[in-house]
Structure 1
Amino acid sequence: MSTTGHHTPHKIVVIGGGYAGTLAANHLRMRADVDITLVNPRPEFVERVRLHQFVAGTRDATVDYGTLLGEGIHLVVDSATRIDTATRTVELASGRALDYDYVIYAVGSTAATPSSVPGAAEFALDLAEFEPARRLRARLAELPSEAAVTVVGGGLTGIETAAELAEQGRAVTLVCGRTLAPSFGAPARRSMTTWLTRHGATVIEAAVVTEVRPDAVVFADGSVRASALTIWAAGFGVPELAAASGLRTDALGRLLTDETLTSIDDDHVVAAGDAAAPSGRPLRMSCYAAGPLGAQAADTVLSRIAGTEPAVIDLAFTGACVSLGRRTGIRQLARKDDTAVKAYVGGRVGAAIKEFTTNFAVTRIRREARKPGSVLYVKGGPRLEQPASVARP
C-alpha cells in the first residue's frame, strides 16, 4: 500500500474478522499511510446470522475473505491471546507477535452455556459460532426426524433455530425463560407463537431449565421432559481477551470504553461490535450494530492519527428481524432507542426483508472494500449527555 510522503505507515491491528472487524479494516483504507492487519481464527468469514440455516442444512454460512477485504489488508489466521499495551504488541496463539500503533478490538461474542446448570456444558450444543454449529449440524444429521429436540432460549437465535427445524418436521420444543422474543411487541410475539405451533413446535414460556441430561431436560419445578438433543441458545458471552490483557471490562467481559469507543485504560485500543461497552452501557449485541460500530471505531483511529477529536457514537435502531423457516419472517418496527412499537411486517414480505437485511450486512462490507467511507447508517439514537462518562484513570 502506498504511503504519503516518507512517513512510516501507521500499524493497525484489527482483532476479529466478523461484521464489525471486517468493515473496520476496510474503512481504515480511507487513509493511504496505514498498514492494516486483520487477525481472525478462521480463514473464512462466518455469516453468524445464518448459522441457524447452516445447522438445518438449508444454507452455507461462510464467505471467502478474498471477496470481502480491500487491497493491501493482511489477513493473519491465528488467535490473539494477549494485547501487551506496554510494548504495543498483540501476542498470538502461534507464538507470533504483531506490533501496533492502534488496535481495533472486535472479538465479537460467544455462547454463554451456564456452569450453574448441571449438564449444560457436557450435553447441550450451541450455535453461537461456526465450530459448534458444525458439530450441531452433524448431530442433527444422525438424529431420527421424530426424535425430541429442545431449544433453550426464547431470543431470536432460539426462535430461528426452532422454526428452521420445525419446518423440516422435527419434534421441537422451544423453552423461553421468560417470554418468547421479549424485545418484540405483543402482536409480533403472538404471530411467532401461532407459526411455531402450526408447524408442530411446542412453545413453553416462563420456564427455566435447571439440568440437562443426555436424554432429557429438567425444569425448575422438577418436571422432566425427554430430549434426544438439547440446543442452548440462551444469551451470549464474550471472549476474555480484554481482561487477560489487563484492560477493564464490564461484568460480562466487554471492553469498557468512552463514547468514542476508546478503551478507558488506553487511547491506542478502540473497540467495536459485541465486545464493546461504551460508558458501561453497551448497545444491543447485533449484526445491525456491528457494521456502524466498526466504521465508528475505524473513524476514531483515523481521527487520532490525524490529531483531531474523535466523534461520539451516534447510532439509532429501527427494529429487528427474525426468520420463521424459509418462507416467513417478522420485521419488528422500533423507536430509535430500540423499544418495540406494536407495528410489524410479517409473512413473505417479512421473510424478504430479513433476507435482504442478512445479505446487506455482507454487501456493505464488500462496498466498503471497493469504496472506503461509503458506509451509511441511521443516526440520532439516544446516548449519554456526557460523552466521557466513564472516568479515565
Structure 2
Amino acid sequence: MSTPGHHKVVVIGGGYAGTLAANHLRIRSDIDITLVNPRPEFVERIRLHQLVARTGEATIDYRTLLGEGIQLVVDSVARIDSASRTVRLASGRALDYDYVIYAVGSTGAIPSSVPGAAEFAFDIAELEYARRLRARLEELPLDAPVTVVGGGLTGIETAAELAEQGRGVTLVCGRTLAPYLSAPARRYVARWLTRHGVAVLEAAVVNEVRPDAVVLADGGVRESAVTIWTAGFGVPELAAASGLRTDALGRLLTDETLTSVDDERIVAAGDAAAPSGRPLRMSGYAAGPLGAQAADTVLSRIAGTEPAVINLAFTGACVSLGRHAGIRQLARKDDTAVNVYIGGRMGAVIKEVTCKFVVSKRIRREAVKPGSMGWPKGGPRPEQPASAARVVPSP
C-alpha cells in the first residue's frame, strides 16, 4: 500500500539493472518502490552456462538483495497504460505509478527462419530454458555429440564448460570466433578450445536443425544429439505492446537521459534501452550503471532538476573457459578491444571476482547504502549507422 504524499515508482524487471535501480531509488525516503518480476528469485544470467553444466547455481533469494521497504510483486507485466498511469499485470492486478523504470532485459532469439531451430534447438538465455537443457544433457551419455551455435561470449562459455567435462562439442561461429575480443585473445580462446576437443567452425552457418543433426549452409550434415542456440538476443515486446516507440529489435527508444521519447514518466535501463537509437552493448557490465542512471533520472524529475545524460566508459570484457581458465580482455572507453588481455588461471580468477562483484559490491552495497555505486565515466558514445536506429511506429 502506498503512503500518502509519496511518489510511486514501479520497476519492471528484477535483473541486474532493475534490482540495482530499485535499491538506488531509496536515496529518497518518500518513494514507494515496487519491483515486478516473473520469478521469486534473482537470476544470475552470467552463470547460466554453469547451471547447465552443473558447475554452479544461478539463483539468489531476493531477500538478500533488496533494500528495506521495496515491495516485490511476482507477476508478469501485460501492458503499461500511460494514459491512466497504471502497470497492468498478467494476473489482472493493476499498479498505479508516478514513474516506471523499464528494465525488462533481454532474452534468447532462436530464429524462426531456420527450419527446425524453434522445435529442436535449446536456448540458454532464461532460467527455465537452462534448466530444461540441463535435464536433457543429463539424459545423454558423455560421448553424445553437442553443437553450440554462436561464437560470441555465451557460446564460448557454454562450449568450454561442457568440453571441460569431457563432452564432444562443435562450436559453429557464424563469421568470427569471439568478435568482441582482440585478435591475440581470440587466438588464445581458439587454442584452448582445440586442446579440449572442441571443433570450432568459423565462417559456418546452420541452415537447419534436426532432432539428431545440424545442416550447414555448405550442405554438410553434422550429428548432434543436442543443439544449443546462443546466436543473437531479443527483448520482450512489452514496450511496443504498450504503444511506445522502439528500435528495430524492440528496445524502448529513449533520449540520452534514458527517458522514453513518448513519455517522460517512463525511463529505461539495461538491455531493453535504446538511447537515441544507439543502444549500448547488451551486458551485465552496462546493466548496473544504466540501472543507477535510470534511477537518477527519476530522482531528478521528482526533484525538478535536469537529468544527466549517459556517461559510461567500458573497460573490456570477461569470458570463462571452464572452471580453470578465462580471459580478461582490456578495451578502450568506447568498448573497442585493445591487444592486451589476461588469460589462463588469472583470467578465470578475474572473471569469478567480477561475477561476485556485480552482486555483492554493486547490488547488495546499494541496498545497504543507496547512491554508493560508481562506475567508469568519460566514454564517448559510439556512432552507429542510421540502419541501426530504425524506429518501429507505435501500434
In the superposition, the TM-score normalised over structure 2's length comes to 0.96
What secondary structure is seen at the aligned counterpart in 2 of 1:336? coil
What secondary structure is seen at the aligned counterpart in 2 of 1:104? strand
Measure, in 2, the Cα distance between the counterparts of 1:86 and 1:143. Answer: 52
Question: 1:103: how far off?
Answer: 0.2
For structure 2, list consecutive stretches of 5 or more residues without a partner in the other structure: 384-388
Alignment match, 2:386 = none
Question: 1:183: how far off?
Answer: 1.1
Measure, in 2, the Cα distance between the counterparts of 1:114 and 1:65. Answer: 33
Structure 2 counterpart of 1:381, which letter? G
Measure, in 2, the Cα distance between the counterparts of 1:91 and 1:134. Answer: 29
Alignment match, 1:325 = 322
Measure, in 1, the Cα distance between the counterparts of 2:140 and 2:31. Answer: 51
Structure 2 counterpart of 1:340, which letter? A
For structure 1, list consecutive stretches of 5 or more residues without a partner in the other structure: none
Deviations 1:182-240 (Å, cap 9, x if unpaired)? Answer: 01101000000100110111100000001000000001111111000000000100000
Measure, in 2, the Cα distance between the counterparts of 1:16 and 1:249. Answer: 18
Measure, in 1, the Cα distance between the counterparts of 2:128 and 2:374. Answer: 32
Is structure 2 residue 370 aligned with structure 1 residue 372? yes
Structure 2 CA distance for partners of 1:215 and 1:169, relative to 1, 3 Å: same
CA RMSD of aligned residues (A): 1.6
Q: Which of 60, 63, 79 lines up with 2:76 in the alignment?
A: 79
Measure, in 1, the Cα distance between the counterparts of 2:349 and 2:381. Answer: 31
Structure 2 counterpart of 1:36, which letter? I
Structure 2 counterpart of 1:375, which letter? M
Measure, in 2, the Cα distance between the counterparts of 1:365 and 1:247. Answer: 29
Identical residues among aligned pairs (%): 81
Measure, in 2, the Cα distance between the counterparts of 1:101 and 1:220. Answer: 51
Q: Say whether the 8 Å CA contact 1:315–1:381 is kept in structure 2.
A: yes
Q: Say whether the 8 Å CA contact 1:257–1:390 is kept in structure 2.
A: no
Is structure 2 residue 184 aligned with structure 1 residue 187? yes
- Taking the TM superposition and a 5 Å limit, the aligned residue runs for 1:128-207 are 128-207=125-204
What secondary structure is seen at the aligned counterpart in 1 of 2:154? helix
Question: 1:92: how far off?
Answer: 0.4
Measure, in 2, the Cα distance between the counterparts of 1:186 and 1:118. Answer: 33
Measure, in 1, the Cα distance between the counterparts of 2:159 and 2:187. Answer: 16
Measure, in 1, the Cα distance between the counterparts of 2:158 and 2:106. Answer: 18
Measure, in 1, the Cα distance between the counterparts of 2:192 and 2:102. Answer: 39
What secondary structure is seen at the aligned counterpart in 2 of 1:174? strand
Deviations 1:121-140 (Å, cap 9, x if unpaired)? Answer: 00000110100000000001
Structure 2 counterpart of 1:219, which letter? L
Alignment match, 1:352 = 349
Q: Say whether the 8 Å CA contact 2:148–2:169 is kept in structure 1.
A: yes
Q: Which of 260, 265, 269 lines up with 1:263 in the alignment?
A: 260
Q: Which 4+ residue blocks in structure 1 deviate beyond 2 angstroms? A: none
Measure, in 1, the Cα distance between the counterparts of 2:127 and 2:374. Answer: 28
Measure, in 2, the Cα distance between the counterparts of 1:356 and 1:114. Answer: 34
Structure 2 counterpart of 1:302, which letter? L
Is structure 2 residue 257 aligned with structure 1 residue 277? no
Measure, in 2, the Cα distance between the counterparts of 1:282 and 1:143. Answer: 40
Q: What is the number of equivalent residue pairs in this alignment?
A: 386
